[in-house]
Structure 1
Amino acid sequence: MTEAVEDLCARLIRFDTTNRGHGQGNGERDAAEFVADRLTDAGLKPTLLERAPRRGNVVVRVSGADPDLPALLVQMHLDVVPADPAEWTVPPFAGEIRDGYVWGRGAVDMKDMCATVLTVLARWSAERRVPRRDIVVAFVADEEDAGEYGAHWLVDHHADLFDGCAAAISESGAYTMPVRRADGTLVPLYPIGTAERGTAHLLLTATGRAGHGSRRNDDNAVVKLVDALHRLAAHPWPVVLTPTVRAFLERTGAALGVEVDLATDAGVDATIARFGLAAKLVENVVRNSTRPTVLSAGYKVNVVPSVAQAQIDTRVLPGTEDDLLAEVDRLLGPGIRREFITNQPPVQARVDSPWFDAMAAALRSQDPDAVVVPYCMGGGTDAKAFSRLGIECFGFAPLLLPEGFDYRAMAHGVDERVPVAGLRFGVEVLDRFLSDC
């Protein structure tokens, strides 16, 4: 008898795999060894790889009935962001099951999917079943930082492990978002990620003439930088309707019975305002964004520094990279040097494809009322690494969620938790999809 998915999720949460960034943290090794043991128990032969001690990654290939079909990658991460126990109702790494939920850091980001996938593989082993096509399963390190010990390193140095993979699924999609129509009817939306904005973190550097703070200085680096940041932060970025965003707006509008006007920027904004809770899925991805987040200048109040710097969290919609950077340079003006801290291009999969159709069918097999729509993720995932191999990447980590459950607030939030019923639903949907796709 296979272990209950909620118990498995709780056990995974008890491994403190905190990633503090810059190579600092507890490491994923213990969790990786646990996962490898579960895969071995299922009759598989996992490979455990590390770029550095205790930064564990596990990859395994499950052979399908038809080896001539393109393979599918299922990729998940084992690391989690930090959690302050003083802020939590339950200890964040206790892995408690109470009130119908599994509590703990990583419950929805993303040890829940790790548990559902392991449960499906254990079920296949017990029932002597195989999928239709080869399935490559990867549990990776370092997603919560730069992926340098996880997905990006694997792609750069162990790409052969993913040979033949045409598509991939991972976090941030296929969860229930219950939305009310104007007449009160509940519509169970299930967004599947078919795109991600790119991550282009920028470092801006202004230089000037150092001097005494009491004297006139028309070459003040701080003033140059502040003026440029104001222009950048105040700039009204125009609406850009990528294929994913346009399809989301049209299909969600039809499901909710609201007017959809995509002819102008104002019309798009008004359309989103009519979407209720579903607006959260699209309001940040109809435009590019440039948000100043870190400032650094000076060391003493009476000294004008010669250098001032700022970091800009820039998010880029598919197909807009060149235009966005050209506009950024125009807004910055002369005297400001721009360079990349991080530059990971956007990700875009096909909205209408057999992969998407199979995911939608799997969701409807467990929820016949499911309204499945594509959506664009505002942030980023390890899809940015695997897409470099030509793999079409989707956000598909199915969960059944009750009305009022703020799923998006759970990831990286206090009292992160996932419904037990949602995990069990995820197992059935994944089993259907992975078996038949």
Structure 2
Amino acid sequence: MADIQGTDRTGDADWAITDEEVVAFTSDLIRIDTTNRGGGDCRERPAAEYVAERLAEAGVEPTLLESAPGRTNVVARIPGSDPGAPGLLVHGHLDVVPADPAQWRVHPFSGEVRDGMVWGRGAVDMKNTNAMVLALVRAWGRTGRGPRRDVVVAFTADEEDSAAYGADWLVREHAGLFEGCTEGIGESGGYTFHAATPGGDPVRLYPIGAGERGSAWLRLTAHGTAGHGSKANPDNAVGELAAAVARIHRHRWPVRLTSTTRAAITEIAAALGRKVDLDAPGFSPELDIDPLLESLGAAGALVGSTLRNSANPTMLEAGYKVNVIPETATAGVDGRVVPGGEAEFASTMDELTGDRVAWEYAHHSVPLLSPVESPTFAAMRAALLAHDPDGQVVPVCLTGGTDAKQFSQLGITGYGFSPLRMPPGLDLAPLYHGVDERVPVDGLRFGARVLDRFLTTVE
């Protein structure tokens, strides 16, 4: 693997400062507990103030925007060298999901550096990327360098819930801050995924997010006749709800291959030394796609959850006493929708819930599809390969959602690009929202260099 030390874009002495800062900023941000428990229960302001102070020290003027007490966002614009070029959004969220210290080897809000790793909640999702951006902006301030395009950096609240206090609010109330931005980069892409050819030769893949499944969080409600638990009651809300939930659980959604997913399968297979033709006569997505992904080994996981719509029952609530039949029963379902699959999702839910159970969106965001054949994607690919020439960059559709969905309402095309080098044996995916979340120090420094090359060269 290429040595990350040294670059043709700045001196070694300045990178030494950036290398120290990216690690220190990651640790500092982790120590600021910004746990988002949902329903408005979060306070990002201390992290937002920290970010704003680091930006101000670099000569950048940050704007703190509070959507509700404690729910603070930070936005700043760094002028580019080409005033005629469109702007580029770089966004990252400040909140994190909960963590139980009793389950961790290292306290989740310690930010401890141990065994070459920075440990803690947010280490990969995504205070690490926020730290890279801060360190990079400060390096530009020291050296007088900067991006080619105007770069708008946005550090948002509430991404780990509904974005109502963060990106969604910014888009509705402060759209002018993002004027001129045509594309944006955010979390969940550009990291090392270790795979192997059929012969066992190691391959380093770098998936870049070029699409996202939409979010369709549902609330199901069944109404019936309340009564005594000892008496026959065919109008039982719990039974009707349970039947609908079971149908949703058992449903097999059909394969829907988007342009991004088709490109992902083809390019992943090619990187592993296999030629795949999804348009070959006789190829059946329903019959052949799962065996095809199995043949790709571990790399098949990059695609498997993006082939179809999905709906997973996650919550049930009914009753207050075992011998009382309740009048109402409710359930929560986490639905995800592939680009182009929204009508199919809604009609299928109508069918699966039936006449006795009503469903509604508790939270709904659109799926995204971003072009793979674009100068921006090419620049991300080139930046990664500049620092790992033997890597293989591939497009993927993200299984979940990011703030890119909200910013798409402003016409901003979003990509998942938070570069990070991961060592063999440490997979990134289980660390998201997982126990013992941690990030390699070396990976942070790699990511800062890749971001620097991308932001200073992208056309």
Same fold (TM over 0.5): yes
Contact 2:35 / 2:98 at 8 angstroms: preserved in 1? yes
Matched residue SS, 1:49 = strand
Deviates more, 1:211-220 or 1:108-117: 211-220
Alignment partner of 1:403 out of 409, 414, 424: 424
Distance in 1 (alpha carbons) for counterparts of 2:84 and 2:314:
49
1:73 aligns with 2:89: yes
Assess if the C-alpha contact under 8 Å between 1:261 and 1:268 holds in 2: no
| Equivalent in the alignment of 1:425 | 446
Give the Cα–Cα distance (whole angstroms) in 1 for the partners of residues 226 and 276 of structure 2. 55
Q: Are 2:2 and 1:7 equivalent residues in the alignment?
A: no
1:99 corresponds in structure 2 to 115
**Residues in 1 aligned to 2:137 and 2:402: alpha-carbon distance in whole angstroms:** 24
Q: Does 1:83 align with 2:99?
A: yes
Instruction: Report the counterpart of residue 59 of structure 2 in structure 1.
Output: 43
TM-score by length of 2: 0.92
Matched positions, count: 436
Does residue 279 of the first structure (1) align with residue 300 of the second (2)? yes
How much does 1:208 deviate? 1.8
- CA drift at 1:45: 0.8
> For 2:26 and 2:241, how far apart are their aligned partners in 1?
47
1:241 matched to 2:257? yes
CA RMSD in angstroms, aligned pairs only = 1.3
Secondary structure of residue in 2 paired with 1:19: coil
Q: Is the 8 A contact 1:259 1:271 kept in 2?
A: no
1:47: how far off?
A: 0.6
Further displaced range: 120-129 or 207-216: 207-216
Aligned to 1:297: 318
Separation (CA, whole Å) in 2 of partners of 1:410 and 1:222 = 36
The yes-or-no answer on 1:434 pairing with 2:450 is: no
The amino acid across from 1:337 in the alignment is: A
For the 8 Å contact 1:261–1:267, the answer to whether it is kept is no
- Indicate if the aligned counterparts of 2:266 and 2:275 stay in contact, CA closer than 8 A: no
Alpha-carbon deviation of 1:147? 1.2
Task: Measure, in 2, the Cα distance between the counterparts of 1:86 and 1:299.
Answer: 31
Partner of 2:402: 381
**Aligned counterparts of 1:292 and 1:105: Cα–Cα separation in 2:** 26
Letter paired with 2:187: E
The separation in 2 between residues aligned to 1:409 and 1:222, in whole angstroms, is: 35
Structure 1: how far apart are the matches of 2:97 and 2:224? 38
Please give the alpha-carbon distance, in whole angstroms, between the structure 2 residues aligned to 1:14 and 1:308: 41
Q: Which runs of 5+ in 1 are unaligned?
A: none
Q: What residue identity is the alignment partner of 2:456?
A: S
Q: Which digits, 9 at most, give the CA deviation of each residue in 1:309-349, with x for residues without a partner?
A: 11111110010101111111112221221111011111211
Q: Which residue of 2 aligns with 1:23?
A: 40
Aligned equivalent of 1:332, options 344, 353, 357:
353
Matches within 5 A, 1:26-425: 27-258=43-274, 260=276, 262=278, 263-264=283-284, 265-425=286-446
Runs of 4+ in structure 1 off by over 3 angstroms are 258-262
Give the CA deviation at 1:259.
6.0
Q: Deviations for 1:370-425, whole angstroms, at most 9, x for unmatched residues?
A: 21111111111111111111100000000111111121111111111101110111
Decide whether the 8 Å contact of 2:266 with 2:277 is kept in 1. no
Cα distance in 1 for partners of 2:99, 2:233 equals: 45
Measured after TM superposition, the shift of residue 298 of structure 1 is: 1.9
Task: Please tell me the residue identity of whatever aligns with 1:131.
Answer: P
How many Å apart are 1:219 and its aligned residue? 1.7
One-letter code of the match for 1:7? A
Higher mean alpha-carbon deviation, 314-323 vs 80-89, is at 80-89
CA drift at 1:253: 0.9
Q: Which runs of 5 or more residues in structure 2 are unaligned?
A: 1-13
What fraction of aligned residue pairs are identical, expressed as a percent?
54
Deviations 1:107-145 (A, max 9, x none): 101011111111111111111112111000011111111
Letter in 1 for 2:33: D
Q: Using the alignment, how far apart are the partners of 2:352 and 2:25 within structure 1?
A: 51
Moved more, 219-228 or 411-420: 219-228
CA contact (8 A) 1:261 1:271 kept: no
